[in-house]
């Protein structure tokens, strides 16, 4: 309960003619109870001798005192009693409803503070705040209650949240998770970081090929430095690539030579079955034997996943193009010790050159030891039908 002094003395400024003092009537306990119940209690303390001066007289000194730091010694305990002592020492008035300060405590105050800072420390932990109501006058109000789930921008304080998880580790034979790959196997034939590989290697990821809408393998390398793909013209039966000015006929799939040297051995790998395209720039005979000094192209095929996934794609286009592709992968058993992946594609289309076809049938099952086959219809160089125009290649691979 906040109480007032039993008596107060008010002074008026001296004039040239008269000077008189007026003593107000004593305050009875009945009047105090009535005033506290109706509105709020005004804590008004004397600056000296228990006397209270009119507000006009105290306004300027109280305002200066609020901005001036001074020593305060207020013991810890009930908040109402502490505010009474503090208001007397600081020469200010503090107004508050009696119920607002009841059953509240303060940690006390001991040190040199300005009035505003001292009030903040006295009210710490009470869920109250002091608002200036005028020169040397303050009003106590309850802090606003923040509803659960309120936005942080509206003053809500959220509790600490700790999130722990194991980051997915990129593999040189798996998805890169974006445009930028951090690992590659072409430079060392191991799962090595690119920053630790003393070779120039460019990697085109699956995500980048999908966003580019790659339809032929050469299109995936169009934005690589020192690489000129599609040097064979408009035909799509083979992929001719120049690396550092040298024509490269050395293509590898998962580190194994993909096609034999020779004119009629050229074929175009289907980009839909490729996880990433890695271009090694520079001599590589120390790792891959006899090869072109410009470099090699290593294609990393899609590998089985430990989670179930599936994709089906329908691609119509110009030149009577119609393509249907599917990619399904996942575990065979519950222990995920046996995985599979099946990539299939069928395309029926005309090439940009008259009487040339861009048809293709592609089937790539993947297993720990699985046969990987491709079939392509058509050839860059016209061959009489009686000699056959189909090409077929199977490569036994696995890791």
pLDDT digits (tens, 9 = 90+) for 236-268: 767 888 999 998 668 899 998 876 555 555 667
- d(C-alpha 9, C-alpha 306), whole Å: 88
Cβ contact 20:14 at 8 Å: no
When mean pLDDT is compared over 25-34, 105-114, 161-170, 366-375, the highest value belongs to 105-114
42 vs 181: which has the higher pLDDT: 181
When pLDDT is averaged across residues 3-30 and rounded to a whole number, the result is: 39
Q: What is the pLDDT of residues 270-307, one digit of tens each?
A: 899 999 999 999 998 889 988 889 999 999 999 998 88
Identify the pLDDT of residue 240: 82
φ, ψ dihedrals at 105, nearest 5°: -120, 165
Identify the pLDDT of residue 399: 41
- d(C-alpha 196, C-alpha 191), whole Å: 11
Q: What is the pLDDT of residues 364-399, one digit of tens each?
A: 998 764 334 444 333 333 333 333 333 333 433 334
Lowest mean pLDDT among 64-68, 148-152, 252-256: 148-152
Identify the pLDDT of residue 8: 36
Average predicted confidence (pLDDT) for the chain: 74
341 vs 379: which has the higher pLDDT: 341
Cβ contact 4:44 at 8 Å: yes
Buried b (16+ CB within 10 A) or exposed e, 276-291: bbbbbbebbeeebeeb
Cβ contact 47:53 at 8 Å: yes
Identify the pLDDT of residue 261: 55
DSSP-derived letter for residue 192 is E
When pLDDT is averaged across residues 133-153 and rounded to a whole number, the result is: 72
Handedness of CA 82, 83, 84, 89 (dihedral sign): positive
Which DSSP string do the residues of 247-262 spell out, in sequence order? EE--EEETTEE-S-SS
- d(C-alpha 193, C-alpha 176), whole Å: 12
Cβ contact 87:62 at 8 Å: no
């Amino acid at each position: 309960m906040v109480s007032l002094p039993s008596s107060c003395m008010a002074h008026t400024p001296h004039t040239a003619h008269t000077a008189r003092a007026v003593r107000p009537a004593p305050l009875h306990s009945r009047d105090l109870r009535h005033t506290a119940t109706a509105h709020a209690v005004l804590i008004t303390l004397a600056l000296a001798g228990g006397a209270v001066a009119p507000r006009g007289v105290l306004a300027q000194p109280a305002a200066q005192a609020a901005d001036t730091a001074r020593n305060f010694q207020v013991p810890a305990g009930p908040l109402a009693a502490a505010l009474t002592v503090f208001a007397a020492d600081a020469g200010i008035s503090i107004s508050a409803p009696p119920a607002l300060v009841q059953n509240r405590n303060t940690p006390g105050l001991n040190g040199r503070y300005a009035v505003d800072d001292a009030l903040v420390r006295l009210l710490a932990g009470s869920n109250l705040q002091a608002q200036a109501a005028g020169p040397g006058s303050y009003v106590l109000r309850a802090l606003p209650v923040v509803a659960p789930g309120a936005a942080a921008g509206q003053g809500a304080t959220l509790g600490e949240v700790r999130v722990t998880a194991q980051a997915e580790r990129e593999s040189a034979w798996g998805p890169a998770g974006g445009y930028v790959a951090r690992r590659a196997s072409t430079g060392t034939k191991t799962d090595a970081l690119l920053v630790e590989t003393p070779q120039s290697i460019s990697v085109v990821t699956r995500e980048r090929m999908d966003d580019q809408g790659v339809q032929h393998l050469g299109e995936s390398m169009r934005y690589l430095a020192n690489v000129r793909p599609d040097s064979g013209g408009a035909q799509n039966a083979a992929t001719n690539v120049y690396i550092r000015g040298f024509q490269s006929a050395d293509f590898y799939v998962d580190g194994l030579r993909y096609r034999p040297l020779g004119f009629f051995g050229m074929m175009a790998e289907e980009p839909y079955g490729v996880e990433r395209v890695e271009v090694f720039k520079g001599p590589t005979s120390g790792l891959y034997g006899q090869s072109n000094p410009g470099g090699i192209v290593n294609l990393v095929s899609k590998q089985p996943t430990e989670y179930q996934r599936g994709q089906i794609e329908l691609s119509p286009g110009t030149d009577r193009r119609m393509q249907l592709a599917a990619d399904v992968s996942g575990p065979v058993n519950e222990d995920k010790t046996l995985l599979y992946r099946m990539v299939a594609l069928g395309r029926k289309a005309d090439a940009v050159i008259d009487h040339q076809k861009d048809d293709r049938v592609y089937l790539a099952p993947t297993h720990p030891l699985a046969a990987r086959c491709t079939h392509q219809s058509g050839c860059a160089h016209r061959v009489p039908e009686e000699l056959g125009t189909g090409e077929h290649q199977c490569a036994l691979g696995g890791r």
